[in-house]
Structure 1
Amino acid sequence: MDGKRISASPRPCCGRRVHAKKRPRVDGFVNTVKKLQRREICSKRDRAFSTSNAQERFRNIRLQEEFDTHDPKGHDYLELPFLKKRSKIIEIVAARDIVFALTQSGVCAAFSRETNQRICFLNVSPDEVIRSLFYNKNNDSLITVSVYASDNFSSLKCRTTRIEYIRRGKPDAGFALFESESLKWPGFVEFDDVNGKVLTFSAQDSVYKVFDLKNYTMLYSISDRNVQEIKISPGIMLLIFGRASSHVPLKILSIEDGTVLKSFNHLLHRNKKVDFIEQFNEKLLVKQENENLQILDVRNHDLTEVSRTEFMTPSAFIFLYENQLFLTFRNRTVAVWNFRGELVTSFEDHLLWHPDCNTNNIYITSDQDLIISYCKADSDDSSLEGNAGSINISNILTGKCLAKIRASNCSPKDDCCCCSKKRTYASRIRNTVAEALEDITALFYDEDRNEIYTGNRQGLVHVWSN
């Protein structure tokens, strides 16, 4: 899931739109054919094989390793007292056999899957609080977004470091990004992996700037104090201006050079709050308080409405570019919709653990066929110990649960070192399976290694693999 916005606010909103990763295309004809194939859900070929393959991939996943982000001795160089305390994991990113784990306090640790040892901490400055991570696959580097005590934690600072330098234990070998930008509240930086762009907003002078994610060169800027919000879709940006009493002015720009492609007004119900305005390719989604969802085709102005009783305002979206669908999250449940306003999938046995829909606990595969989530465990699971949940792997197109990692996956007869009934281990694992499945606060799936990484409130990272 890509398309991440980091705000300068000390309390960033947890509800956000997230872009699912778009796979690269090498042939235009294949691209067109596959788009046509996927326009209808039933047209996806080899679904039975894909399903059975997914089930086999996750069938024997077990708890294999444990990493700890807390190291009292290793934190001696840090100045801020709260950085030296144990803190929960809020974000996990994996790249090139390295697992990065970020804690809520602002400490980020890098671990090697080759040696299963911690490589280094990424906090270069003693007063640095890292807020978020982004892996830039364009140049094989990790971008950290931080605030600093010396700046009273008031503005965002970005730094990029090659993965190879981190592998050598040299996190200070990177360099600063966007130094000319004043990213104080309500400024932000947004990384868009789908288009290969970075969007910054400098609140000081109300200027938006678009940078190339490959080499960080500035492409163009947008200076208009009437712009209230910018939403990014494949190839385009939607500019949302301050609303009038009965409409909201909108502009669609080319993401590549900022050229205005279309300007129009969208009619609104007077005196009704706008819940959201979202753009997905040629489709505009608008929802007002206690009103129907409107899906507008901006090319021909065809309007589709979905009853407010069928579509209630979600807390977050995930747009699936490969399948021309979008996921909504509301009250711990996930649903899949198409742009005709039809409910495509309701997931079975997929009640999310966290009510606030923390998207760091959800992973969408690059094929956009599977969703991996931290869920409530079965109430009739007799093996439950404490407050353990489960990691569910479900098919997005059918809603079927294909596999589940839970405490009962390991029985007392298992020879693996992670059995939930054992307390002594040959490895460094201190938690039982049930304990590792308690209070998971971050989740990431490494598709190349077929490994799931989870982090919990104790600052521990657990590796689940075959």
Structure 2
Amino acid sequence: MEGRRISARYSSRRIVASKGGRRRRGGSSNGTLNHNSIVNKLQSREISPKPHRAFATTTAHQRFTTMRLVQEYDTHDRKFSSNSSITLPFLMKRSKLVEIVAAKNLVFALCHSGLCAAFSRDTNERICFLNVSPDEVIRSLFYNKNNDSLITVSVYASENFSSLKCRSTGIEYIRRGRPDDGFPLFESESLKWPGFVEFDDVNGKVLTYSAQDSVYKVFDLKNYTLLYSISDRHVQEIKISPGIMLLIFNRNSGHIPLQILSIEDGTVLKSFNHLLHRNKKVDFIEQFNEKLLVKQENENLQILDVRNAELTEISRTEFMTPSAFIFLYENQLFLTFRNRTVSVWNFRGELVTSFEDHLLWHPDCNTNNIYITSDQDLIISYCRADSDVQWLEGNGNAL
């Protein structure tokens, strides 16, 4: 989707301003486990080096055998369409969902058109629409658990849909049907393309980039106070990891300058140069704790340990540039998504597992369609297979 960038690092989310039935496995037909299956799973739990994780993984399918449809919600409202003060006709038309966010007893559904509705799980009714301006198009949602609020990121027809505006609304106000009681965020920032705002739930920070003056700013996610700024026109990109940020500067002919900063106060922890092949573009640079992943066009993937400069490479024939990453910090692994396939790698350069029977519905996966449990032992994704959704699990070393 043009202009929509969702970061694939843990639960950090970046929004960039724009330019102008189910397969059964391992159980009986009535959803109960047979005797041999129970024995095998218990045996696996006892002899596994990670018994808790192994048992949870092998019983993953049974955890969902009782799932049933409880309630359906509909964001489309003919009464709203005919009587609303909304001035944008496309907001009144039915469109597909692009985000679903659950917070407390509320469910928020954001449509591709930019219309966003809030539903109550207690009454199973729609409470309100979150579009508080007649020309507002909501681009993304973020639930801020630090202060129990919902942040909406929007663009407006009056500004040619080119500048991001953020708004924070308390969950309690939404529950009462009063979305107008929210307040704007980062009003001092010019978030026109290619500016962006990125919400980092792990570190409790917000990163903004104002392209107008080439300034990055870091805010506290609890109270939205400014912590520090980074003003350097040579900074090409910033990557966020737990506790640190990686600054990627404009490349020179044979290397690219890099800095690692403390996420808390912006202190420079390490500065170094990474050698590059001349005249070849950089496909990506990603940071995972002390590991730096660098891939150039038609070259091997390099995994650099920034502590001791130890370098590991994965052959370009084995590792092809993916469209998205998800880092599994609990397992010290990372997932790659390419076309419709999912692969799991470790930082020794080894392919841990690939899901050969798992074909994602969308090519060039957007990680909005991927959910990983907090224990990182289960992936839920939208797939093209015998049924639309499959439940995937690893085999001990996978997830």
Say whether the fold is shared (TM-score over 0.5).
yes
Aligned partner of 2:169 among 161, 165, 168: 161
- The 5 Å alignment of 1:31-46 reads 43-46=49-52
Equivalent residues of 1:328, 1:334 under 8 A apart: yes
Residue 331 of structure 2 corresponds to residue 323 of structure 1: yes
Q: Which residue is 2:389 aligned to?
A: 391
TM-score normalised to the size of structure 2? 0.87
Superposed CA RMSD in Å reads: 1.6
Equivalent residues of 1:368, 1:396 under 8 A apart: no
Query: CA offsets, 1:165-193, max 9 Å, x none?
Result: 11111111111110110101110000011
More divergent stretch after superposition (58-67 vs 111-120): 58-67
**Secondary structure in structure 2 of the residue aligned to 1:190:** strand
Equivalent residues of 1:161, 1:174 under 8 A apart: yes
Structure 2 spans left out of the alignment, 5+ residues: 1-9, 21-47
How many residues are paired up? 361
Deviation at 1:61, TM superposition (A): 1.4
Amino acid at match of 2:210: S
Residue 113 of structure 2 corresponds to residue 105 of structure 1: yes
Residue 279 of structure 2 corresponds to residue 271 of structure 1: yes
Amino acid at match of 2:52: D
Deviation at 1:65, TM superposition (A): 2.0
Amino acid at match of 2:339: N
**Secondary structure in structure 1 of the residue aligned to 2:64:** helix
Equivalent residues of 2:337, 2:364 under 8 A apart: no
Equivalent residues of 1:348, 1:399 under 8 A apart: no
Deviation at 1:400, TM superposition (A): 8.8
Aligned partner of 2:75 among 60, 69, 74: 69
**Secondary structure in structure 1 of the residue aligned to 2:80:** coil
Structure 1 spans left out of the alignment, 5+ residues: 12-41, 379-388, 402-466
Q: Which residue is 1:127 aligned to?
A: 135
TM-score normalised to the size of structure 1? 0.75
Deviation at 1:150, TM superposition (A): 1.6
Q: Which residue is 2:378 aligned to?
A: 370
Deviation at 1:345, TM superposition (A): 1.6
Deviation at 1:396, TM superposition (A): 4.1
**Secondary structure in structure 2 of the residue aligned to 1:360:** helix
Query: CA offsets, 1:54-108, max 9 Å, x none?
Result: 3332012123321111112223221111111111111111111211110111000
Q: Which residue is 1:56 aligned to?
A: 62
**Secondary structure in structure 1 of the residue aligned to 2:307:** coil
**Sequence identity of aligned pairs in percent?**
80
Q: Which residue is 1:9 aligned to?
A: 18
Query: CA offsets, 1:300-325, max 9 Å, x none?
Result: 10000110111111000001111111
CA distance in 2, matches of 1:63, 1:77: 34
CA distance in 1, matches of 2:139, 2:258: 32
Compared with structure 1, are the counterparts of its residues 52 and 245 closer, same or farther at alpha carbon in structure 2 (3 Å cutoff)? Answer: closer
Q: Which residue is 1:256 aligned to?
A: 264
CA distance in 2, matches of 1:56, 1:72: 41
Q: Which residue is 1:333 aligned to?
A: 341
Residue 214 of structure 2 corresponds to residue 189 of structure 1: no
Q: Which residue is 2:41 aligned to?
A: none
CA distance in 2, matches of 1:62, 1:188: 39
**Secondary structure in structure 1 of the residue aligned to 2:71:** strand
CA distance in 2, matches of 1:65, 1:111: 11
Amino acid at match of 1:390: D
Q: Which residue is 1:200 aligned to?
A: 208
